[in-house]
């Protein structure tokens, strides 16, 4: 009967498997290739390109917030006008106007929620797009360091700092990509128009 491995033990099991395979390779006198690690959070926050993406996302978030505040003020003013006009309106006219106003508010709320959700999805996928764009630089660095595997530091319990290539990766990504001005924010080169 197989015993399920708990999710929090998976990195430990992975580390043991890597150690066991390295030990086996040594016993066969096979050439040793290093397992290297990076901290994707640091790559994203410390590289010029990652900072550029973060700044663009923050600017969009601020624009969305400013638009939300403007719309709230407009809707409050419209609601006040409707309330002030109530004494001069028939009950049927007021009900129709109130229902139209409520539909307008609900439509704006849905549109704003959709925009906020889209921005959150864009923010969530930004690190993946960033890593995909920087992949060539990371492969080059991995080859320079004799690495055969590059792991995410967040999945590592114990490590030797000598296998952490994050500082070198930040430097090389900055050299190769810079702020990414030649790329769009999805990490692609813009199409010639």
- pLDDT of 18 > 80? The answer is no
Beta carbons of 152 and 38 less than 8 angstroms apart: yes
Q: How far apart are CA 117 and CA 121, in angstroms?
A: 6
- pLDDT of 9 > 60? The answer is no
Q: What is the mean pLDDT of residues 128-139?
A: 91
Q: What is the mean pLDDT of residues 47-71?
A: 93
Q: Where do the structural domains in the chain lie, given as residue ranges? A: 33-177
Backbone φ/ψ region at 180: left (φ over 0), alpha (ψ -120 to 50), beta: left
Helices and strands (H, E) in the chain, number of each type: 5, 2
Compute, in degrees rounded to 10, the torsion defined by CA atoms 158, 147, 170, 45.
-50
Q: How far apart are CA 38 and CA 153, in angstroms?
A: 5
Three-class DSSP labels, 38-104: ECHHHHHHHCHHHHHHHHHHHHHHHHHHHHHHHHHHHHHHHHHHHHHHHHHCCHHHHHHHHHHHHHH
DSSP E strand stretches across 137-177: 147-152
Q: What percent of the chain has pLDDT over 70?
A: 77
Residue 190 or 124, more confident = 124
Between CA 82 and CA 89, with CA 87 as vertex, the angle to 5 degrees is 70
Q: What is the CATH T-level fold of the domain 33-177, as seen in this structure? A: Protein Binding, DinI Protein; Chain A (3.30.910)
Query: Residues 6 or more apart from 43 whose CB is under 8 A from it?
Result: 50, 130, 131, 134, 166, 169, 170, 173
Q: Residue 172's pLDDT is what?
A: 95
Provide the pLDDT confidence category of residue 31 given band limits of 50, 70 and 90: low
Q: Residue 22's pLDDT is what?
A: 53
Q: Mean pLDDT for the chain?
A: 82
Token pair, residue 87, equals: 């004494």
- Nearest alpha carbon to residue 190 among 164, 50, 26, 182: 182
Q: What is the mean pLDDT of residues 169-192?
A: 75
- pLDDT of 111 > 80? The answer is yes
- pLDDT of 20 > 70? The answer is no
Q: How far apart are CA 127 and CA 53, in angstroms?
A: 9
For 65-81, write each residue's pLDDT tens digit.
Answer: 999 999 999 999 999 99
- pLDDT of 26 > 90? The answer is no
Q: Residue 28's pLDDT is what?
A: 47
For 78-100, write each residue's pLDDT tens digit.
Answer: 999 999 999 999 999 999 999 99
Q: What is the mean pLDDT of residues 49-76?
A: 93
């Amino acid at each position: 009967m197989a015993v399920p491995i708990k999710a929090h033990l998976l990195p430990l099991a992975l580390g043991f498997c890597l150690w066991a395979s390295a030990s086996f390779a040594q016993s066969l006198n096979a050439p040793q290739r290093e397992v290297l690690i990076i901290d994707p959070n640091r790559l994203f926050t410390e590289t010029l390109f990652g900072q550029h993406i973060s700044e663009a996302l923050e600017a969009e978030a601020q624009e969305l917030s400013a638009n939300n505040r403007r719309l709230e003020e407009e809707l409050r003013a419209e609601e006040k006008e409707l309330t002030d006009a109530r004494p001069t309106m028939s009950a049927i006219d007021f009900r129709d106007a109130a229902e139209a106003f409520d539909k307008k508010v609900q439509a704006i709320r849905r549109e704003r929620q959709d925009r906020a959700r889209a921005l959150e999805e864009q923010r969530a996928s930004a690190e993946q797009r960033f890593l995909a764009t920087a992949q060539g630089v990371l492969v080059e660095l991995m080859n320079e360091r004799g690495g055969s595997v590059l792991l995410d530091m967040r999945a590592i319990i114990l490590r030797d700092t000598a296998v952490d290539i994050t500082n070198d990766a930040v430097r090389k990504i900055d050299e190769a990509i810079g702020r990414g001005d030649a790329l769009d924010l999805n990490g692609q080169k813009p199409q010639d128009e």
